[in-house]
Amino acid sequence: MVDLSTEYLGLKLKNPIIVGSSGLTSSVKKIKSLEENGAGAVVLKSIFEEEIAYEYEDFIKKAEKTGSPPKYFDYDGRKNPIDYYDYKIREDNLNKYITLIEESKSNVSIPVIASINCYYHSADWIAYARHLAQTGADALELNMFFLPSNFSRSKEDTERIYFQVVEKILHEVSIPVALKISYYFTDLGPMIQKLSKSGIKGLVLFNRFFSPDFDINKFQVVPSFVFSTPSELAISLRWIAIMAEKVDCDLAASTGVHDGDAVIKQILAGADAVQVVSCLYNHGIGYLEQLLERLKSWMVSRGFKRLSDFKGKMSQSKSIDPSIYERAQFMRYFGGKKNVKTY
């Protein structure tokens, strides 16, 4: 018998596999099936500030087209339709999300982590976080990303926003907070380390983004690959291994985990938990059982009884050749030299 239990963000998980934020976690029914199929925890589909803003713009556009702009409404003492509808759409979305959290909590016993995805209007993050933290969610995952394509904003300014938002949110909420980030930082290692010391309980390395592609016949911008591929594991594996013993918070690995071996690799690198999304879209949620089976049988074959027996065994800090994690060029691969290190 092996023990797969672990702790993440101070929460007890029966196993380290977390179903990441996505359409797979958007309803109570789906979350119940994920629990039945073995998920250790779930991160709910994010509440998107961006989506709410679009819905609002859409509403205003439709109203303008039909020539029946919304009537003035005396909201909060201000006769302003724009404010009212903005407020109403935000409130409706928030209420739907709160219901999802409350119903999930009363229907499953695994930890339920709420998720907020905002990338502008930083004041709204704080209000959402405060509301969601009061609903019984076990933790909050903040998906924070400001594309570094603003030519008038310095890297210092971009980075400062992360710390400002984290500080404000931690001031407002008492449940554990995790930050899901990208690898688009100039000083990635130091940035991860600094964030880990900001009071958050966990970092999710890394988010994977919706990216544009081109339809060359219609000259249109279309969605590119929505799902990750197994080769995308490499980036988060390297950074979990590099950061594992250099951070003051838990680490969850995300992106490119497509089989049980990838789960094992991320734990060897030092991950406290491993998030999966694309592989469940590809194979169905029953695939969770296969991931767990592979983890268990590998542990038995290696004589490991619990995750702590091998967690971080292959992190950079434990490596006999730490430089191998920092090697970025193909020199050796093509040079034909032996490139294998045993732990």
Ligand X SMILES: Cc1cc2nc3c(=O)[nH]c(=O)nc-3n(C[C@H](O)[C@H](O)[C@H](O)COP(=O)(O)O)c2cc1C
Q: Which is nearer to ligand X, 208 or 238 (CB)?
A: 208
Q: Which is nearer to ligand X, 145 or 325 (CB)?
A: 145
Q: Which is nearer to ligand X, 23 or 322 (CB)?
A: 23
**Number of alpha carbons in the 13 Å side-chain half-sphere of residue 331:** 5
Q: Which is nearer to ligand X, 221 or 234 (CB)?
A: 234
* End-to-end Cα, the chain, rounded Å: 24
CA-CA distance, 302 to 280, in Å (whole number)?
27
CA-CA distance, 35 to 25, in Å (whole number)?
11
Structure tokens at 196: 């880990």
Q: Which is nearer to ligand X, 179 or 247 (CB)?
A: 179
Ramachandran angles phi, psi of 281, nearest 5°: -65, -40
Q: How many helices (H) and strands (E) does the chain have?
A: 11, 15
Q: Which is nearer to ligand X, 243 or 291 (CB)?
A: 291
Shortest distance in whole angstroms from residue 276 CB to ligand X? 5
Q: Is the dihedral of CA 73, 75, 77, 79 positive or negative?
A: negative
Residues that bind ligand X (CB under 6 A): 20-23, 45-46, 115, 117, 143, 180, 207-208, 226-228, 254-257, 276-278
Ramachandran angles phi, psi of 48, nearest 5°: -100, 120
Q: What is the DSSP string of 121-186?
A: -HHHHHHHHHHHHTTT-SEEEEEE---TT-TTS-HHHHHHHHHHHHHHHHHH--S-EEEEE-S--T
CA-CA distance, 66 to 216, in Å (whole number)?
35
The DSSP element (H or E) to which 106 belongs, if any, is helix 81-107
Amino acid at 175: I
Q: Which is nearer to ligand X, 6 or 228 (CB)?
A: 228
